[in-house]
Amino acid sequence: MLVSDSKPEERRAPRARISDVAQALGLTKATVSRALNGYPDISESTRARVRHKAAELGYSPLSHAQAIRTGRARSLGIVLQVGDQDGQRPFVADFLAGLSSAASAENWTLTVATATTEEDMLATMGRLIDERKADGFVLPRTKVADERIRMLRRLSIPFVLFGRTGDPESCAYFDILGEDAMALAVRHLHGLGHRRIGYIGGGDGFYYSAVRSAGYRAGIEAVDLPFDPAIVGGGAYTVDAGMREADRLLAADEPPTAILCATDMCALGVCRRASALGLRVGGDLSVIGYDGVPEGAWSTPPLATFEVDSRVAGLHLANLLIRRIRGENPADLRETAHARFLDRGSAARPMMSSAELREHVARATGR
């Protein structure tokens, strides 16, 4: 008789079922299911008891069974417009990490797609909806009039904005108060002694551009400085555009001794152009940006800017979207936060008056 050295296979313990959790707690299966899926009609204490007991028993729902039963994929969607120069690069890695982390904590997944144009983005979102690959969407870089919002409203698909929009009806959002940052920057520069404070706005049509411009105006009014359109530019969200707008503002009859920019890339362009004109940034000309891009820390001098914690923003947005998908009122899902000011070397007391600055620029350009 042959004797085998191999041990008989151990039988796998039977998988814990939702009925096991319900029986252990003396609750109905429906209550346990709603607790595990985060429905708002279940109290937080009951949700905690159910989750604890489920973990203790080793119960985890089968994703495909849940999808059949609830009609949900338990997936959050986001489509990034990779051809958008004003788009995602400064924050995308940390932002996606935050979204993914918060989704995973709720046993949800994150579906990420890319598009090259606005038309392509709408088509991609439509495909994800048709294929049931996303239950709702995070919409970054919102516009004053946003076609993505119109489409999702029409299809009754839940969404949450990273930003705000011109018509907030039915919109849940998380946003950083860029208007407060710009007003604070004006007060900071005024406190340093600047009386000619210029401004260069961001991408046309984006809501952040509108609110940051409004914040600049509010800041100017708050320190009793006159608004002068000759030292206000816009549509600049790249280094090249920042250089172009810097030339225009510095050619004014009374040029600014400080320039506030809606984006860091624009601010870095202003710094580059100032240096080319022989101006010392952080002395002859002060510059402040917004975004906290890594390049700003390595510029000479380091760029004063407002830093946004993109990972935390992703965490907030994922949680808000899951709550929205579960049926909560979007008007109750609106949160804001402030950017952190990094007071670095590009903003300092003015070493030149506006008149001296004009003369220097005229000599440097041969005007």
Question: What distance lies between CA 169 and its chain's CA centroid?
Answer: 20
258: which strand partners?
197, 286
- If you classify domain 76-175+309-331 with CATH, what class do you get? alpha beta
- 178-308+343-364: CATH, from 2.30.40.10, 3.40.50.2300, 3.40.50.150, 3.30.200.20: 3.40.50.2300
Per-residue pLDDT of the chain (367 residues; tens, 9 = 90+): 333 344 444 444 566 787 888 888 888 878 877 877 767 778 888 888 888 888 788 776 654 444 444 456 799 999 998 765 544 455 788 999 999 999 999 889 999 999 999 999 999 999 999 989 999 999 999 999 999 999 999 999 999 999 999 999 999 999 999 999 999 999 999 999 999 999 999 988 999 999 999 999 999 999 999 999 999 998 888 999 999 999 999 999 999 999 999 999 999 999 999 999 999 999 999 999 999 999 999 999 999 999 999 999 999 999 999 999 999 999 999 999 999 999 999 999 999 999 999 999 999 998 7
pTM given for the model: 0.80
Which single residue is written with the structure tokens 């018509």? 167
Q: Where are the beta strands (DSSP E) in the chain?
A: 75-81, 109-115, 136-140, 159-162, 172-176, 197-200, 232-233, 258-261, 286-288, 305-307, 334-337, 340-342
Q: Is 241 helix (H, G, I), strand (E, B) or coil?
A: helix
Domain borders along the chain are 76-175+309-331, 178-308+343-364
Instruction: Supply 180's token pair.
Output: 């407060």
Cβ atoms within 10 A of the Cβ of 7, count? 6
Q: Give the Cα separation of 198 and 245 in Å (integer).
A: 11
Fold match, 76-175+309-331 / 178-308+343-364: yes
